[in-house]
Amino acid sequence: MKTISILGATGSIGQNTLKIIADNQDKFNVYALSAHHNYDKILEQARNFQPKYVVIATKALADKLQHALKSEGLETIVLFGAKALIEIARADEVDIVMAAIVGMAGLESSYAAVCAGKKVLLANKESLVAAGNIFMKAVKENGATLLPVDSEHNAIFQCLTDNQYHAKEVDKVILTASGGPFRNKALSDLESITPDEACNHPNWKMGRKISVDSSTMVNKALEVIEAYWLFNVSVDKLEVLIHPQSIVHSMVKYCDGSYIAQLGSPDMKTPIGYSLFFPERQAVNVTPLDLCATSLTFEKADFIRFRALEMVFSLLGEKDYVKSIIFNAANEVLVEAFLAEKIQYLQIIAYIEQTLAELHFSSAKTIEDVIEIDQKTRDFIKQRFLLDDVMYT
Ligand code: NAD
Ligand code: MG
C-alpha cells in the first residue's frame, strides 16, 4: 500500500490519476488532495476518497468545505493556501506525490516534495522550465525519484535505460508534437482565433492553459527545456518532429541508427499509470491502439512558423537559463490574458518575444531567486502591455 498526495487533483491530470487509483484501491491510500477554486469537484473527490487532508485556495472556501464534510460525518481536515500545499507534499506519511498543479503555482510544492526525497510524479513541467538546475540538484541531493508524467518525457524515460542516460550512444532525443489545432492554417488566419478554438485540441483533452500552449507550440518549447533538464541532454541532441497522429509519444535515436520509440493511444492514463506503478507495470483502462487503423507521419518542425521553438533552442544554446524563467512567466500571464479575451491570439507569441528582448536579470541561484524573477516578469508584462490583473479560474 502506497500513500499518495495529489496536488491539483481537480484538474485533467489529477482526475485521471484518481480514476486509476479508484481501480486500484488496494494499492493506494490517498493522504491529501488539492484544488484551487473548484469547490464542487473537490467535495465530490473528498467524499469518494476520504483523504486525511484537503487543500483549497482560500479560508472562506476551506470553512465552507470543512462544514460540508463534517455534516456528512467525514473526518477529512480542510486546509488552505500555498503553505498547506507544501505540507501535504512533504509530510512524513507520504510516499508518492503527483505534482499536477498548472503553472508556476506548482513550483514550491513540487520542489518541497523533491527536497523531502519523495517519489515525485511530475506533470507540472513549469517547475523544471523555471528552475531546472536547482530542481535537478535537489533531486540528487535528497535521493528523490523523479518520474515524468508528460507523455513525451514519459516515453523518452521508457526508451532510455538507466545506464544509457548520459551515454554517448544517444544520438538524438526526439520529441513529437501534434502541431495543435491550427497546424494547417495560414499564420494570417490566426489573428481572430478565440479561446474556445485554441482549446479545441485534435488529439488530447487537457486543461485550458496547456491547450492554448499546444496550439502556439509553447507547450513543445517548454517540453524541450523539460527534456534538457530531465535527461541531462545537450541542446544539439534535442529535436522536435511534427507527428499529427500523437501515437508515437517520443523516441530516442541511438548512434547505431536504432530508433526506440514508445507508442500508444493518446490517453494520459498510460503515462500516469506507468509512473504510479513504476518500476512495475500494471493494466490501466485505456483504449488499445489499433495500429492497422492509423498511419504514422512525421514532418520537420518549422522554426519560422513556430517562433516559440526558435526562442527556446536559442536560450538553451546560450545556456541563458534566466530567459527560461522569463519565457515561462511571460507565457503564463499572456495566456491568462488571452483566455480572458484581453489580448489577441497572435499577441501571445509577439509579446513573449518582445519581453525576452527587453527584460534582463542576473542568474537565479535559489528557488527564491526564481520566484522573484518570475514575479518581476509578470509585473513588467502587465505594465508594458497594459494588462489588468487576470486570474485563473
Ligand atoms: P488543469 O487546468 O486541468 O488543472 C490544474 C490543477 O491545478 C487544478 O486542480 C487546479 O485547481 C490547480 N490550480 C490551478 N491554479 C492553481 C494555483 N494558483 N494554486 C494551486 N492550485 C492551482 O491542468 P492540467 O491539464 O491537469 O495540467 C496540469 C499540469 O500538468 C500542467 O503543468 C500541464 O502542463 C501538465 N500536463 C498536462 C497534461 C494533460 O494532458 N492535461 C499533459 C502533460 C502535462
Ligand atoms: Mg506533453
Q: Give me 64's grid cell.
A: 465552507
Nearest Cα residue to atom 41 of ligand 1: 206
Confidence at residue 206, expressed as pLDDT on a 0 to 100 scale: 86
Strands 170-177 and 238-242: parallel
Final residue of a domain: which of 280, 305, 330?
A: 305
Is the predicted pLDDT of residue 167 greater than 70, yes or no? Answer: no
As a whole number, mean pLDDT of residues 198-212 equals 88
Whether 124 and 33 share a structural domain: yes
Whether 139 and 191 share a structural domain: no
Q: How far is the CA of 113 from the centre of ligand 1 (A)?
A: 17
Q: How far is the CA of 387 from the centre of ligand 2 (A)?
A: 29
Query: Distance (Å, rounded) from C-alpha 232 to C-alpha 167?
Result: 10
Nearest-10 crossing angle of helices 345-358, 321-339: 150
Nearest Cα residue to atom 25 of ligand 1: 207
Q: Give the single-character DSSP code of 212.
A: H
Final residue of a domain: which of 277, 305, 333?
A: 305
Q: How far is the CA of 152 from the centre of ligand 2 (A)?
A: 5
Whether 169 and 136 share a structural domain: no
Here the CATH number for the domain that contains residue 69 is 3.40.50.720
361: exposed, middle or buried (C-beta count within 10 Å: 0-12, 13-18, 19+)? middle
308-321 pLDDT, tens digit each? 999 999 999 999 99
The pLDDT > 70 percentage for the chain reads 97
Assess if residue 310 is contained within a domain. Answer: no
Number of domain units in the chain? 3
Nearest Cα residue to atom 36 of ligand 1: 123
Domain that holds residue 123: 2-148
Confidence at residue 386, expressed as pLDDT on a 0 to 100 scale: 78
Assess if residue 312 is contained within a domain. Answer: no
Is the predicted pLDDT of residue 359 greater than 60, yes or no? Answer: yes
Tell me the ligand closest to 151's alpha carbon: 2
Whether 7 and 136 share a structural domain: yes
Assess if residue 315 is contained within a domain. Answer: no
State pTM to two decimals.
0.96
Question: Within 6 Å (CB) of ligand 1, which residues are found?
Answer: 8-14, 35-36, 38, 100-102, 105, 123-126, 150, 204, 206-207, 209-210, 268, 392
Confidence at residue 141, expressed as pLDDT on a 0 to 100 scale: 98
Final residue of a domain: which of 258, 281, 305?
A: 305
Confidence at residue 267, expressed as pLDDT on a 0 to 100 scale: 96
Whether 29 and 96 share a structural domain: yes
Tell me the ligand closest to 220's alpha carbon: 2
Whether 7 and 140 share a structural domain: yes
Confidence at residue 165, expressed as pLDDT on a 0 to 100 scale: 61
pLDDT range class, residue 391, cuts 50, 70, 90: low
Assess if residue 95 is contained within a domain. Answer: yes
Tell me the ligand closest to 339's alpha carbon: 1
Is the predicted pLDDT of residue 354 greater than 90, yes or no? Answer: yes
Assess if residue 279 is contained within a domain. Answer: yes
Assess if residue 314 is contained within a domain. Answer: no
Q: Give me 200's grid cell.
A: 479545441
Ligand 1 pocket test target in 101, 120, 152, 272 with most atoms within 8 Å of CB: 101
Confidence at residue 393, expressed as pLDDT on a 0 to 100 scale: 38
Nearest Cα residue to atom 39 of ligand 1: 206
Whether 178 and 143 share a structural domain: no
As a whole number, mean pLDDT of residues 73-87 equals 98
Q: How far is the CA of 116 from the centre of ligand 1 (A)?
A: 22
CB–CB of 82/99 below 8 Å? no
Confidence at residue 392, expressed as pLDDT on a 0 to 100 scale: 45
Whether 383 and 243 share a structural domain: no
Confidence at residue 187, expressed as pLDDT on a 0 to 100 scale: 83
152: number of CA atoms within 13 Å, CB side?
A: 29
pLDDT range class, residue 373, cuts 50, 70, 90: very high
Whether 354 and 382 share a structural domain: yes
CB–CB of 58/84 below 8 Å? no
Whether 297 and 336 share a structural domain: no
Ligand 1 pocket test target in 33, 210, 267 with most atoms within 8 Å of CB: 210
Q: Give the single-character DSSP code of 100.
A: -
Q: How far is the CA of 51 from the centre of ligand 1 (A)?
A: 20
- The ligand 1 atom nearest the CA atom of 219: 34
Q: How far is the CA of 151 from the centre of ligand 2 (A)?
A: 5
Is the predicted pLDDT of residue 84 greater than 70, yes or no? Answer: yes
Assess if residue 272 is contained within a domain. Answer: yes
Q: Give me 2's grid cell.
A: 502506497
Whether 180 and 298 share a structural domain: yes
Is the predicted pLDDT of residue 129 greater than 60, yes or no? Answer: yes
Nearest Cα residue to atom 2 of ligand 1: 207
Residue 286's contacts (CB-CB under 8 Å, 6 or more residues apart) are 264, 265, 267, 269, 270
Here the CATH number for the domain that contains residue 345 is 1.10.1740.10
Ligand 1 pocket test target in 12, 79, 88 with most atoms within 8 Å of CB: 12
Average pLDDT, the chain: 94
Assess if residue 185 is contained within a domain. Answer: yes
- The ligand 1 atom nearest the CA atom of 103: 32
Nearest Cα residue to atom 18 of ligand 1: 105
Q: How far is the CA of 293 from the centre of ligand 1 (A)?
A: 32
As a whole number, mean pLDDT of residues 337-341 equals 95
259-313 pLDDT, tens digit each? 999 999 999 999 999 999 999 999 999 999 999 998 999 999 988 889 999 999 9
Q: Give me 344's grid cell.
A: 489577441
**Phi then psi dihedrals of residue 112, to 5 deg:** -65, -40
Nearest Cα residue to atom 20 of ligand 1: 36
95-104 pLDDT, tens digit each? 999 999 999 9
Whether 59 and 78 share a structural domain: yes
Tell me the ligand closest to 204's alpha carbon: 1
pLDDT range class, residue 388, cuts 50, 70, 90: confident
